[in-house]
Each structure stands twice: as C-alpha cells, then as structure tokens.
Structure 1
C-alpha cells in the first residue's frame, strides 16, 4: 500500500533522459518566442500557448516525482534539492513568456485573450497580476534565490517536524501518532499526549520561531517588491477573492462562536466533567472505540461515493488499485495528509498516515475528494487545472459529508450522538479554527520587525480563546501549539480557504439532500471538471448562489446551527 511512481518515471535513468530533453525544449522555446510575442498573429500565439503549457506541465512532472520521493522519506533532501535546482534553471528559460505578455498593450492582450478560448480565463487572470510583476532580470534573481529563501525554511520545518520523537509513557511516537492520542477514550492518555506534544515542541521553539520569522520576512519583502499593500493580498489575488469578502467571512464566523460554546458545554455535561480542557476537545462520547481498518474504510468510501456518483466511485477504485495512495506512517515520512495533483500524464498521488482511527476514515475521504477533483480537472489542460484555494477544498469536504451521511443512517441514538459530535468537531476545526488561524496570521504578519516567541505565544492564545470562551480551559502549554501548523510555513493565509469551502460545501450538500436540484450530480461534476478555468464566482453561480452576497455565508452557518441543535436534543 505504497505509491507506484512508475506512472511518472520508471527509474532515475528515465527521469534524467526526460530532464535532458526538456532542457533542449525550453532553449528552443526561448529562441523562438523571446522578445517576439507582440509580433505573433493569433494562430501563432495559440501555438506558443500550447507549447508553453506542455513545458510547464513537464517541469511539474519532474518536481512531482522529486517531491513525492522526499515526502515518503524526508532524509532524501539531496535528491529533492537536485531536481528543484535543475527545474529552476529550466524555468529561467521560459520565465519571460508571462512577463512579456504583461508588457503588451492592453488591446494586443485583449486580442490574444479573445482568440484563445482554451486559455482565455488563464490569460485574463494573468493580466490582473500585471501591476505586481517585476522585470525579467528581477524575476530571474528571485527565482535563483528561491531555494535559499522561504522554500529552504519550509524544507527545514518539514525535516525538523519529521525528525521529532514524542515521548509517550515508554514509547517514542511520531507527530501523527501523538496527535492521534488526543482522540483517545482515556482522559489521562489524552492529557499525557498533550504534555508530550508540548514538551517536544518546547525543545525546538527557538528554531521553529526563527523559521516562522523568516517566512514572515520573506513574504513582507515580496509584498514590498511587488507593490502589495497588505501581506495577505497576494493570497486573495491568487484565490480570486476580495479582502472584503474574506472580512465578511471572518465576521460571520466570529458572530457565531456561540455555537461552539453551546456544543462544548453540552459535551462537558455528557462526559460528566467539571471542566473541559484543551485535551478533552476530541474526547469520544461513545465507549465503543470504533476502529476502521483500511480495508473497511475503502469499502465505506467506495459505497458512499457510488451512492452519489458512479464516476466518483470509479476514480476512487482506480486510486485503490493502481498505487495512487501511500497509506501508513513510516520512519522519516512526512506527517499529515495530502493529494498531489501529479501530472496529467499519470494521476494524482495521495499521502496518508493511516492509524485505523475514525478520523482517518474521513481523512481518506477528504484526500480522495481532492484526487477526484484533480483528476476531473485534467480535462481543461494543465494551466487551467490548478484551482484557487477557495474552491480547491470543495470536493474534499463534500466527500467527507458523503461518508458521514452514509454511516450515520444505521446506528442507534447513542452512537448517532457520538458520531454527530465528531462531525460537528470536524466542522468546527475546518471552519471556526481556521478562522482563528487566519486572524492569528493577520496579527503576526502585520507586526513590524522580528516577532518574539512570547508575542507569538500570546497572540496564538488570545485568538484561540475566542472560539472557546469559558467552554474549554486552555492550558498554558497550549500557547506554543502554533508551532506545528504547516500551513503557516508553506502557505501563509491559506487557512481561510478551508472555512470558505466548509460553508460552500454545507450549502451545496444541503441543496443536494433537498432534492431541489434534479441534475445536481451532473452540475457538480461539471463544476469540478472546470478546475480553475472559471472564477469561483462563475463556478458557484452554476448552483444559483452568489458568493459576493454576504447572506450567502448564512446558508452554510444555518446548516451548522441545525446540526448543533440536533446534537443538543439527542
């Protein structure tokens, strides 16, 4: 149950041959088109776009292979670094293309956009970046130094976290394993897991704090160079969403924290605790410690996907049968889970750290949702397949809902209460908690100069308490738990996309279950297959929703409120 990377390259010899041919191709592309784009007619520009797409896709194929090797074994840093450097050199030859397009007069740009049906949205979106791009020489310098900037510190973070061993009783656990203990039925085990996590993180606080400061500084420098007023603005531009829309999302979230207070106070009553502590958040309500062996989880996912769409089931079956998934934790393997879009020459690749816990079942559904989205979006071409974060989480969270809806039907009242509690906790983690992450990041990145560990810890603690108020007591050690969140390092201001997707999915899932949209599955499949070839506003409008309407967020929030009410009444 490990990846079969031969769909990308059979071995390193084939990789080297592919790299050598690509090096020749990018030189030819540069010689053919550099400083000549303005003189192309529409037909030749379309030809250039198709070749550019092929080259970008080829670079991605190499980097995918190197990244997956590194994710499987973070001791393979030298291998990853070698091909990262080679690909950066290759990219220098074609870096001119998008930059040169954005030096054209608007009327020439518009002529090319109108003639390129397959690339019109991609080019229109590229045009929006015009005022933030630098000269070719400046962009080349940034590309050459990228390996020693934020990317280098992100790699250092990954290697540091992967190397950590958390002392739990007489065992040494990985990050994934100790985090899974926070879901234990045994309260003392949960408490010890929280202490173990905190103790090991404390040993590395100076390094983790320095890494975060370097990420902060790198983003600040980039924004200054590219004329962005705010450190989160580049993310909003990439996500094709306004800061005002994000602000309204945050406001809607913070205005509904009361749902969290109600839920956790009820949970405390059910558990019979005087107080609920941070390590009690994920305490299971059922005494039946449900475990899902991977084979059982596969069966549940396939059946729940099949009930929704035969195409979803077919793609998931391909993933299980053809080496798309690396399943279990192993020494030096990267923590967490992801689905990498891979290459349209191959298929997506899913990384799990499966430990048979019930949450692993939903993680499997989540990542396969990504894989289905990625596979379907191959149809619009590589340049259009990359979705903005605002819609990238849509299929993943929707697939979690499919599994939840499937397994909750045939259980008794007590088990239903326990399962509903877990689902609400997942939604809170995806919605409320990610907004806490975002408001924390805002404070961090708006802070002038290097930020001390004490300040980071206090900011984190203050933002975290907003979600819980008096319903959960956060211990003092909780202040350092910002330091293991990978999104802060790899993708600043990523996290609100989870909240956005959660409310969007709840609105879509509610529409699906209401049976008010007869051809929902067909529209939803088209929505996913569109990848990034349309704006989020256009995509969501397929279902009759308007993401610019502040009331849109209330549809998803109403679904959360209904689930909490149902839980309180059980």
Structure 2
C-alpha cells in the first residue's frame, strides 16, 4: 500500500548525484549553444531543443523523487530544500534558451517553428509569453528570489499544517482524518468534527493570514509590477492557455445557477428531517437504511477497474498497471501530507498517486479521480517532457470523467436502497468541483484586490462568498468562517481553482456526447488525452465539434447538472410515494 520509488531512484544519495550531473550538463549546454541559436539550421535547432528538454527532464526526475519522499514524510523538508537549491543552480544555466529564442528575428523563429515537429505549440506559446519575459539577468534574480519568497511560504504552509493535530473524542487526528468525520451519519459526530477542525486551526490564524498576505504580495510584485501583466489573474489564464473571456463566461454561468445548489440542499434538509441545515450537515449521508458501509481498498480497486474496463480497455490496462507496479501510496500516516494528487513525474518513468484512503465511499471517487489524472499523464508521455503537462483547464478532464464512469458503475451495481445516497453524493461532488471552486475564485478575486488583510477580513469575505452559493438552504456558523485557512490552492497556485469548474462543465458535456453515442468517442477521447499540452484546448476540442469561446457551451454543461438533479428528485419522489419500493 506504499508506492515504489525505485523506478525513479534507489536512494536520496543516488537522486542527488543524478541532479548534480544534470547541473554539469546544463553548464556544458550553455557553453555549447548560448548566443549561437541564430547560427543554427532548423535541424540543428531541433537537436538543441531535444537536448534542452532532456536536461530539464533529468532535473524534473530528481525533484519528483524528493518531492514524493517529502509528501509522505514532511520531516524531510531539508532534503527538499537542498534539491531545490541544486535544481535552481542548474536552471540558471538554461534560462537563457527560451529568452534567446523569443529575441530571434521573427522569420528565424518561424523557420524553427515550421521544423519543430511535436514542439511546435511549445514554441508558439513562448511567443505568446514573450511580452512578459525579462532579461536573462533579471530572470535569474527572480529564480533565486523564489527560494525565499513564494515557494518558501508554500513550504512553510505545508510543513506547519501537516504537523497540526485535531482533538476528537480523546484522540489526536490529522486534518484528513477529522475532515472525514464530517461525512458521518451521526450529526453529533459531524458537529464535534467541525468544532475540532476549527479549534485546531484557530490558534494559527495569524500565521495563515501572514502567509497568504505574503503570497498575494509576491504574486502581484512578480507578475504585475515586474513582468507587466495587466492584472493578477492574467498569468494564470495564459499558463492555462485560455482567454479571460471564456473564464468570465464560465464564472458568470456558475454564479447565475447557484439556485441548483440551494434547491438541492433544501431537498436534503427535508430528507434528513432537519428544521435547519448547518455547514457541518452539508456532507451528511442520506440514509434509507441503518447501514454505514466501509469500503476496503481492495473493493474500491476492483470497482474502479470495472468502471474503467466498461469504457475502455486502454483505461483499464493503465489503471491495472498502476496497482501492480505500486504507483500508489494509499493510507494516511504520521507526517504524510493531506489530500490527494497524481504527480506526472517524467515520461521516462510513470505517474505517482498519493491518497489518504479512509474507507469511505467518497474515497472511491478520489481513487477514480486521481487514477484518471494518472491515465491522462501516462497517455501524454509520448509528446515529451516539454509537452507532457496539460494546462490546468484540461488537466482535470480525465479525472472528472473517471468519476463519471465510476458513478455509472455504482448506479448499476448498488442496491436500490443506496441509489438515492449515491445520487446525493454525486451532486455534492459536482457542487464541490463546480460551484465551490468558483466560490474559491470569487474569494480570491476579492482578497487579491486588497492589500494586507487581517484574519477577520479574510473571514468576512469567505463567509459572504460561501453564503451566496447556499442561499437560504444552509446556515453557516461562526466556526466556518476560518476554513479558508486550510485550502492549499490559495497558497500554492493562485487562481487555480476555476480550472476544476472549467473541467467539470467540459466533462459533463463530453460525457453526454459519449452516452449519446458520439461516433468513435473512445478513440477520439484517447487521442485528446494523448496530446497532453502539445495542442491548445480550443483546438483540441474541435475534434468533438465544441467551442469553449461560445457561452452556450457552458450552458450545455450546466444543463447536464440540472439533468442529474432532476433524476435525483424523481428518485426522491418515488421513495416518498412508495416507501416499500426499495
């Protein structure tokens, strides 16, 4: 149940030696090619580009190894810092390459682009970023500065929150463990978990606010004041390879449809028989029986494999390989970071998946989600290291699609007395991925528009933006006001969160195409995933006849949410009128 990192390296010492060798190669690369790109033929430039990619991949491989070690044991922060310092030195000898390319005469750039094979879009994207690039000396200064600014505060956040313990019924629980109690069928236990999380976070509010203020400040200085972006969101949109127009259309569509969330939670309140629904009741399971099944990991594994197999043999084989070759670290443990992720590693190895599995049904969806990422990352390995990583807006596509496949599998296999609960869980997952992430984005837009904020300022904005989503259906208690402080995306990746919503509506649209028998869907979808970041999202989706610049595109996705909610209501009405049905 622990991952095997030996395909990367056998030890920290081996990884460090490999990283230092990459630094030596970077020094030689600089000596051989710097200030010579103009003299190269298109074929010589392509060879140069491949060598540049290979060095970067080697650096990335070493950093992947130490980050994965750190993720399962956050006491190893000193090793992570050491590796980052060596990598930083190596990259100082590579930073000139992209800068020299974008300052070549346009006709010379075009000749290189025309001959660039799979690297064509990578070079075109460099041209798009060119207005925001600085001189080599300035870029090196910013690279060095990052070790003690943005990334340093991210590390402080991770290390500090991973050490926190939350007292619950006489036990000391991790953040993941106490959050899992919010899904308990026992209302008193959920309320205790809410209080426990709040009391555990509260003494650290000044620190978390300080970290967030420094992250905001660093982001604004780096991107707006130094690089010249018009606003703090623009660098994220450019890296996501989407336009602000499409993001604004998404956010507007979601904000206009929060009535779906309010409608659902009013129904849930009725089903639970509560006069009022509080924030700690949001994830209460809707139970038609007294059973509260725990799902062992082996059962979850087989369920997910079956779901993938019913869609695609390719999906099934990659997921099966992930289990057999130990790509996955499964359970919570002392010092392990919270949450879940799939790390793409490098094309020469394979992705790695971190879970904190607690035997809850929602953990099966997390497993499917992260394996969806891993499948996407594995399929994209053939486009190389520079193209492997997808923009965030499409990075969540396979993961959310995998959740939909699992949803269909559970609908077929579960007894009817659990079906209403599964629908409720799916809707709540969609709300978390779609509406809640836009709440996060609305929150970020407001806090980034302000200078330094006090904890109570963050609390106020957090409560106001969350209440808009729930309307009159859920009462947010005072305890909830500090829960912005444990959200890692605000610290690690400002304005990341809308990408989940972007992908959610995109997936719902794609999934409807699949269910409606779109011609050669599996083949086209695997082609779409295999492109990684080598093709811009707008062009990728043309294969399905979709246009993400069209506001009607987002409305179609929202229509799919309404469809699932209506199916849930039909199930609920059947249960009300035919109590013996199940």
TM-score, L = length of structure 2? 0.97
Contact 1:122 1:533 in 2 (8 A): yes
The alpha carbon displacement at 1:413 in A equals 3.9
The alpha carbon displacement at 1:108 in A equals 1.5
> Structure 2 CA distance, aligned partners of 1:383 and 1:298?
32
Counterpart mapping for 1:42-121 below 5 A: 42-121=42-121
Say how many residue pairs are matched.
568
Alignment correspondent of 1:386: 389
> Structure 1 CA distance, aligned partners of 2:20 and 2:192?
53
Counterpart mapping for 1:110-259 below 5 A: 110-223=110-223, 224-259=225-260
CA RMSD of aligned residues (A): 0.9
Contact 1:301 1:365 in 2 (8 A): yes
User: Alignment partner of 1:350: what SS?
Assistant: strand
> Structure 2 CA distance, aligned partners of 1:204 and 1:157?
11
- Does residue 299 of the first structure (1) align with residue 302 of the second (2)? yes
Q: 1:499 aligns with which of 495, 498, 501?
A: 501
The alpha carbon displacement at 1:412 in A equals 4.1
Runs of 4+ in 1 over 6 A off after TM superposition: none
The alpha carbon displacement at 1:285 in A equals 0.4
- Does residue 358 of the first structure (1) align with residue 335 of the second (2)? no
Contact 1:8 1:345 in 2 (8 A): no
The alpha carbon displacement at 1:245 in A equals 1.1
The alpha carbon displacement at 1:453 in A equals 1.3
The alpha carbon displacement at 1:278 in A equals 0.2
Q: 1:484 aligns with which of 462, 465, 486?
A: 486
Alignment correspondent of 2:534: 533
> Structure 1 CA distance, aligned partners of 2:146 and 2:116?
32
Contact 2:16 2:62 in 1 (8 A): no
Is there any run of 5+ residues in structure 2 with no aligned partner, and where?
572-582
> Structure 1 CA distance, aligned partners of 2:228 and 2:419?
52
> Structure 1 CA distance, aligned partners of 2:395 and 2:20?
33
Contact 2:245 2:549 in 1 (8 A): no
User: Alignment partner of 2:74: what SS?
Assistant: coil
User: Alignment partner of 1:408: what SS?
Assistant: helix
Q: How far does the alpha carbon of each residue in 1:5-58 deviate from its partner, in whole angstroms, 9 at most, with x for none?
A: 100012234223322322221111000111111221111100111001101111
- Does residue 423 of the first structure (1) align with residue 423 of the second (2)? no
User: Alignment partner of 2:319: what SS?
Assistant: helix
The alpha carbon displacement at 1:337 in A equals 0.2
Contact 2:16 2:83 in 1 (8 A): no
> Structure 1 CA distance, aligned partners of 2:204 and 2:491?
15
Tell me whether 407-416 or 217-226 shows the greater mean CA deviation. Answer: 407-416
Alignment correspondent of 1:558: 559
Contact 2:20 2:86 in 1 (8 A): no
> Structure 1 CA distance, aligned partners of 2:11 and 2:175?
31
- Does residue 326 of the first structure (1) align with residue 326 of the second (2)? no
> Structure 1 CA distance, aligned partners of 2:119 and 2:375?
22
> Structure 2 CA distance, aligned partners of 1:290 and 1:14?
44
User: Alignment partner of 1:542: what SS?
Assistant: helix
The alpha carbon displacement at 1:88 in A equals 0.4
Alignment correspondent of 1:35: 35
Contact 1:431 1:502 in 2 (8 A): yes
> Structure 2 CA distance, aligned partners of 1:13 and 1:466?
52
Tell me whether 500-509 or 407-416 shows the greater mean CA deviation. Answer: 407-416
User: Alignment partner of 1:548: what SS?
Assistant: coil
TM-score, L = length of structure 1? 0.99
User: Alignment partner of 1:129: what SS?
Assistant: helix
